[in-house]
Amino acid sequence: MGNQLKTTLLLAVMTAFIMIVGNLLGGRQGMIIALVLAAGMNFFSYWYSDKIVLKMYQAREVGPQQAPELYETVQTLSRRADLPMPKVYIIPKEAPNAFATGRNPENAVVAVTQGLMNLMNRQEVTGVLAHELAHVKNRDILIGTIAATMAAAIMMMASMARWSAIFGGGHRDDNNGGGMGAIGMIAMSIIAPMAAMIIQMAVSRSREYLADATGAQIAGNPEGLAQALEKLGADSRRIPMDANPSTAHMFIVNPLSGKGLQSLFSTHPPVSERISRLRGIRPQSGPSAPPPPPGGNRREAVGKAFWDNLKG
């Protein structure tokens, strides 16, 4: 509930930015035009982003014949989450990662890289898949599209305000000195897009925390996802992924590296913090929880034999 509230507040702040920049620009007309343009661009992205990103990473669809264990795991988790069975894809990349996409649960896609299957044991893969199904269940693709629409609208209006100020803008403040009005518009046109981007990234981070928590519930045990994040945090840096920055927010861990000030613009929260939060969740008990994996060692062997038939 905390992450849901945080998302709502962040979107409210972004809405306020739209109103402020629109008012600064000179009224509702510019604001409406920017919103319509941004909505049109993101409507296209919302409906076709799954096809675009799957083609971008050369992902191939697999079924129960090509990848029986992977497909069965997704099927089991989907039933447990009360979701329709999504399409399952494998990305031919050695970097370990995964993502979910699709405009709604009825058109969802779950994709994992070859590197993730080579690295993870069954419990860890289950945790990753549960996290991705949590994104589908929580409608994060829709929420991300709304945030992107608002951010794009702010950027468009800021650009309009900047050109208006350069070419004789600031007329609203002519009685108090048009120069100050133009300076204010230029300053806002620089500050607003940066603030919108930071808020958009904060929305993305809050949804990752929520997907971790929901995924732990779906899997029945948070430890599998916690262990998977430990491996992903180390190996995603050791084996970098040639990822498009525009799709970075989709993956379970950020395929792009960033430190210091760049963390403000990160689409993902720190892996260490995600692991700590997961290990603060008590495992479920009862019929909904899956049986523990063979062996009690948290650092058990990768178990490549389980996934060998998924290679190639």
Cα–Cα distance, 136 to 102 (Å, whole number): 8
Q: What is the phi/psi pair of residue 110, to 5°?
A: -120, 125
Which tokens is 42 given? 């993101």
Catalytic residues: 132
Cα–Cα distance, 298 to 63 (Å, whole number): 30
Query: For residue 57, how far is the Cα from the chain centroid?
Result: 17
Per-residue DSSP letter, 251: B
Cα–Cα distance, 168 to 81 (Å, whole number): 57
Q: Which helix (H) or strand (E) holds 89?
A: strand 87-91
